[in-house]
């Protein structure tokens, strides 16, 4: 039975990963400028265009549907593998920045993180390269088939963390969140309010599977880095 579920899960994952038409890239910033700006342990957020990206953006009410961890590369080669990501179909892999050349992206940088902690975060991710997620929990995937579910806003985010299967960890930015938790670096307030079985609101510790890509954008502990500004943008020079 597990083998049948896995086969169905792989087919479902392949469909969810297919691109949707009508995507618009808003920034024409040269990829090399982005590469020159990146620093180790930076997070690259991606505004994806797949079926699952559309669902994630709707459920999280965010522009960002995917997150990658920058682990360093030769600054002159945007085609060199330098980003570690957790992918639904490929598992944990190292990919080049060029993979996202046609997408809107954002750089989020942890503030005040020591060089040793940055290395620990990157090593945590490196150690998981090659891991392939078990997709037998098809119910954990099927929720993304409905691109705009009729769910109240306050419950939409909960649908991301639905289930305890590995598809949840592949879809969400849980790999990166777990990596930063290992060095006790915060992303959002550690406690979240949920309803218990009695319907009462209680505070519980935020698990790494509760994080979504947009959380790094909203986090008060990560700085948004824009290559154009970092290079010294001057309005007078454009007039």
Give the H or E element holding residue 224. strand 222-225
Position 115 scores a pLDDT of 96
pLDDT in tens, 158-168: 777 666 567 77
Rounded distance between C-alpha atoms, residue 206 and residue 222, angstroms: 18
Rounded distance between C-alpha atoms, residue 63 and residue 203, angstroms: 28
Q: Is the pLDDT of residue 204 over 80?
A: no
pLDDT in tens, 47-94: 998 988 988 888 888 999 999 999 987 666 778 999 999 998 999 999
Rounded distance between C-alpha atoms, residue 105 and residue 64, angstroms: 8
Q: For the whole prediction, is pTM greater than 0.75?
A: yes
Position 26 scores a pLDDT of 76
Q: 161: which DSSP letter?
A: T
Position 141 scores a pLDDT of 83
CB 56 within 8 A of CB 171: yes
Q: Is the pLDDT of residue 177 over 90?
A: yes
Position 68 scores a pLDDT of 97
Least confident of 6-10, 82-86, 153-157, 169-173: 153-157
Q: Strand (E) positions, 18-137? A: 43-47, 66-70, 81-87, 91-96, 104-110
Position 153 scores a pLDDT of 73
Position 137 scores a pLDDT of 80
Mean pLDDT, residues 168-190: 89
Position 100 scores a pLDDT of 93
> What DSSP string runs through 167-222?
HHHHHSSHHHHHHHHTTT--SS-SEEEEE-TTS-EEEEEPPGGG--THHHHH-TTE
Instruction: Kindly state which CATH superfamily the domain 2-238 is placed in.
Output: endopeptidase domain like (from Nostoc punctiforme) (3.90.1720.10)
Position 216 scores a pLDDT of 96
pLDDT > 70 fraction of the chain, expressed in percent and rounded: 87
Per domain, the residue ranges of the chain are 2-238
CB 67 within 8 A of CB 87: no
pLDDT in tens, 88-134: 899 999 999 999 998 999 999 999 999 999 999 999 999 999 999 88
For strands 66-70 and 43-47, give the pairing: antiparallel
């Amino acid at each position: 039975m597990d083998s049948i579920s896995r086969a169905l899960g792989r087919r479902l994952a392949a469909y969810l990963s297919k691109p949707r038409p009508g995507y618009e890239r808003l920034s024409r910033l040269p990829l090399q400028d982005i590469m020159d700006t990146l620093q180790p342990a930076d997070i690259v957020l991606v505004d994806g265009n797949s079926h699952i990206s559309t669902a994630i953006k709707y459920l999280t009410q965010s522009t960002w549907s995917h997150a990658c961890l920058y682990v360093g590369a030769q600054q002159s080669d945007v085609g060199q593998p330098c980003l570690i990501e957790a992918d639904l179909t490929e598992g944990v892999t190292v990919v080049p920045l060029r993979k996202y050349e046609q997408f809107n992206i954002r750089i989020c940088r942890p503030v005040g993180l020591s060089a040793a902690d940055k290395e620990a975060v990157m090593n945590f991710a490196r150690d998981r390269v090659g891991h392939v997620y078990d997709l037998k929990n098809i119910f954990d995937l099927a929720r993304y088939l409905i691109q705009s579910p009729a769910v109240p806003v306050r419950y939409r985010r909960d649908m991301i963390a639905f289930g305890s299967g590995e598809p949840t960890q592949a879809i969400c930015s849980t790999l990166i969140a777990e990596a930063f938790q290992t060095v006790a670096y915060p992303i959002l307030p550690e406690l979240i309010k949920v309803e218990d079985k009695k319907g009462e609101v209680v505070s519980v510790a935020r698990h790494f599977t509760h994080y979504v890509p947009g959380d790094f954008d909203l986090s008060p502990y990560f700085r948004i880095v824009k290559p154009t500004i970092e290079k010294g943008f001057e309005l007078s020079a454009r007039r």
